[in-house]
Structure 1
Amino acid sequence: MTAADMTAARSALVVTVVHNPQDSRIRQREITALLAAGWHVTYAAPFSAFDQAVPTGDLTGLDLPRAVGRSRGHAWRAVRRVLREQGSRHDVVLVHDPEILTAAVGLGLDRLIWDVHEDPAGALTVKEWMPRPLRGVGARGWRLAERLAERRWTLLLAEHAYQERFRREHVVVPNTVTVPDHVSEPGSGRVVYLGSVTQARGCASLVEVARSLTERTGGGLTLDVIGPALDADSRRQLTEAQSQGTLRWHGFLPSDEAFALLDGALAGLSLLRDLPNYRGSMPTKVVEYLAHGLPVVSTPLPLAVELLERSGGGVVVPFDDPVAAADAVLDLRADAARARLMGERGHAYVADHYDWSSQAGGFITALTSVADRGTEPPR
């Protein structure tokens, strides 16, 4: 009997009100793995808010409002309604935003799974919509909510380091990527940044690096920024820089289009700042760059440093130092053999250690275990 035969009768309700419906972890990896394993999947997400069609066919879509900034009440009420109406009809409910947990309270959803791929308490320290005096109180409140959540529901963790936040052992489904078999050699005319752009993620440094590279190469080396800007300052800075010809800002692109822009670039930039919510997480963009054969220029976040040291696939530069980042890029441009060797080593390492194909089975097993255990909550 095949895995698809064994799971043909199972179904999952996958829910987010924060993430882009095309989020790589949610849509491209987890939902794709569920469908391939024969699960019926209903995906509730803010499709209209991101100008996307609600899916039909093999994947059933439900449109939800997006929770953004302080405008979260409408989304909370909508997702609670979906959980009440749809939750008990599915074998598991897989949620991706911590605020959905509050909407699930009292609904009797014993087979709910929280996929933990962020640090909500750490993130509150940089949320512009949260009044600064309340950020510490909010962070402590989320830590308590996390402890209550693990007593009530099942948790999946995207990082081994997240285990430190919890008292029990939880299944880890790392933030791996799909690694192509063959990649292009690093080029010399472009560097790339892939992912959402915010001030906390180093937008100001990105713009300064782009300006420096343009000036120092006479326009021979430019920056492609691939991803949406999530705050007003970042949108303004990227718009101005693009109008000045300093960089090219593509906005959000579907995964296949975004990854196509990685091919042939000189390097990938990850200039996240030294903030609590980043210290225990692996920047997915770093793994994605390596998967596509690009040398990485990264700030010294612990997990990124560990990966680059083990793989030999990149260079570490100080936090908030665009001059050092630009210098590192130009050093790679001046030494094509070094850039090519970094690209080869990084690609080989993530193919062995970070390929989603080696993690998908564990993800399906974890959800199947919850679906099969009946209505008893985790002990």
Structure 2
Amino acid sequence: MEQGNALHSPTRVAHLTTVHHPFDPRIFHKQLAALRNAGFDAHLVAPHERTERVHGIPVHALPRPQNRAHRLALQPRVFRTARALGAALYHVHDPELLPLAGLLKKTTGARVVYDMHENYRSKGALLGRFLRALERWAFRWVDHVLIAEQSYRAIMEDHARPHTYIPNYFRPIGEEPPAAPVDISSPPTRLLYTGTLSDGRGLRTMVRLAARIRGADRPETLSLVGICRYPTQRARTEEQIRRGGLGAVVDRVGWDTYVRPSTMPPHYRQADVGLALCEPRPNHVGSIPTKFYEYLHYGLPLICSDIPLWRRFVDRHECGAVVPPNDPAAVLDVLDEWQAHPERYRQCAENARTAAGQYRWGPIGKRLAGLYRRVLPDNVPELSTTESR
């Protein structure tokens, strides 16, 4: 590759995305924070209201795109912004940015890391094939690939490319005190779902669950904390809540706006049970939801869809129950059992808290910083002791 502009610093690295929120937990609060604490000059190029420094990390603002066409139209600006940074390494989070990353590598001599967040082949026949083709092309020249799930190893083995598993383990945001033990003095009635909301992620099932709770005059409540990016699904759900009188059962936080991770702890602390009632779609069956690790941290037993990988997780840690997908009655059966036998619920909560220690971000952040040192051509600072969680 020919080299163009000189690198500003052998420790300057830049993460690029036009798809993800600038304060996406994996990108900003885990990876960039770990790199900052390890002594890297870590930057982010992403859609944001303004260019600013947040928690010591410079955020270089791009306009917020409204759709994929707008994102593609942003690419020249992304390239100019990224190239002007003169980073020694560019870390790309979206497959559609891979051609831009290839151009950065060719014109600057920088290293390129590609972060595979999803199995994009599951995005539908046409789009999925296109994104996988982009990845296959990039695997010929990218310096390293990060995979967010163990199941993606099969993709990488087909291409014999160097790759590293960087899971989305839990990292507390800010100086948060340790989570208090779950209050088991009363039956588990406060149900919580966190994360992006959609029918595929269980939205329709959770509304049906709320309707059953309302119809049977049960004591449970359901908090949905996250954004639903689909206006038609939001409108349908709002009408179902209004028509069914479910306002006293369902609480929506965020809904049409992104919920920042720093605002999440109170919702976990006020809950008794964590839900993950996703449909068994291709991208779910090979992935452990990040919310599992978050629920465990707060000692929340799980009730999740009976997906083989998820069942193995719950069975291994004895931290909850699995139910058939799209079956709200089965969720109520689990709650009835826990309410009739509180010692079983208590044991699941204790097991969840015990298991949480296996899924802390701290060692993964060190793994990421070590990888950067191996990929970069020059010596970089040793890991600081500030990244301990």
Same fold (TM over 0.5): yes
Q: Does 1:195 align with 2:195?
A: yes
Q: Does 1:60 align with 2:58?
A: yes
Partner of 2:262: 256
Partner of 1:350: 356
Partner of 1:96: 93
CA distance in 1 between counterparts of 2:55 and 2:199 reads: 39
The 3 A distance-change label for structure 1 pair 299 and 14 is same
The one-letter code sitting in structure 1 at the alignment partner of 2:292 is: V
- Alpha-carbon RMSD across the aligned residues, in angstroms, is 2.4
Partner of 2:5: none
CA distance in 2 between counterparts of 1:215 and 1:280 reads: 35
Partner of 1:359: 364
Give the conservation status (yes or no) of the 8 Å contact 1:295–1:346.
yes
Q: Which structure has the higher relative contact order (CA within 8 Å, separation 6+)?
A: 2
Q: Which moved more, 1:61-70 or 1:110-119?
A: 61-70
CA distance in 1 between counterparts of 2:233 and 2:264 reads: 20
Partner of 2:3: none
Partner of 1:308: 314
Q: Does 1:148 align with 2:137?
A: yes
Out of 286, 292, 300, the position equivalent to 1:286 is 292
Q: Does 1:368 align with 2:373?
A: yes
Deviations 1:138-166 (A, max 9, x none): 32232222222222111011112101112
SS in 2 for 1:13: strand
Give the conservation status (yes or no) of the 8 Å contact 1:199–1:233.
no
Tell me by how many angstroms 1:181 deviates: 4.5
Q: Which moved more, 1:306-315 or 1:238-247?
A: 238-247
Tell me by how many angstroms 1:349 deviates: 1.3
Tell me by how many angstroms 1:62 deviates: 0.8
Identity value in percent: 28
The one-letter code sitting in structure 1 at the alignment partner of 2:154 is: E
Pairs aligned (count): 349
Name structure 1 gaps, 5 residues minimum.
1-7, 126-135, 375-379
CA distance in 2 between counterparts of 1:77 and 1:327 reads: 54
Partner of 1:111: 111
Give the conservation status (yes or no) of the 8 Å contact 1:18–1:68.
no
Give the conservation status (yes or no) of the 8 Å contact 1:11–1:40.
yes
Give the conservation status (yes or no) of the 8 Å contact 1:206–1:271.
yes
Give the conservation status (yes or no) of the 8 Å contact 1:79–1:100.
no
Task: Please identify which structure carries the higher helix content.
Answer: 1
CA distance in 2 between counterparts of 1:170 and 1:373 reads: 20
1:222-301 counterparts in 2 under 5 A? 222-240=221-239, 243=242, 244=245, 245=247, 246-251=249-254, 252-301=258-307
SS in 2 for 1:62: strand
Tell me by how many angstroms 1:43 deviates: 1.1
Partner of 1:162: 152
Partner of 2:382: none
Give the conservation status (yes or no) of the 8 Å contact 1:190–1:266.
yes
Deviations 1:232-277 (A, max 9, x none): 2331244345553130000133223212211141211101111112
Partner of 2:164: 171
The 3 A distance-change label for structure 1 pair 337 and 17 is same
The 3 A distance-change label for structure 1 pair 233 and 330 is farther
Q: Does 1:21 align with 2:44?
A: no
Give the conservation status (yes or no) of the 8 Å contact 1:11–1:91.
yes
Name structure 2 gaps, 5 residues minimum.
1-8, 380-389
CA distance in 1 between counterparts of 2:29 and 2:76 reads: 27
CA distance in 1 between counterparts of 2:332 and 2:138 reads: 43
The 3 A distance-change label for structure 1 pair 347 and 106 is same
Q: Does 1:139 align with 2:139?
A: no
If the length of structure 1 is used for normalisation, what is the TM-score? 0.85
The one-letter code sitting in structure 2 at the alignment partner of 1:141 is: F
The one-letter code sitting in structure 2 at the alignment partner of 1:73 is: L
Tell me by how many angstroms 1:350 deviates: 2.5
SS in 2 for 1:343: helix
Tell me by how many angstroms 1:224 deviates: 0.6
SS in 2 for 1:148: helix
Partner of 2:6: none
Q: Which moved more, 1:290-299 or 1:238-247?
A: 238-247
If the length of structure 2 is used for normalisation, what is the TM-score? 0.83
Tell me by how many angstroms 1:68 deviates: 4.8
Tell me by how many angstroms 1:75 deviates: 2.9
Deviations 1:36-75 (A, max 9, x none): 1121121111123xxx884357211111234454433333
SS in 1 for 2:168: coil
Give the conservation status (yes or no) of the 8 Å contact 1:280–1:302.
no
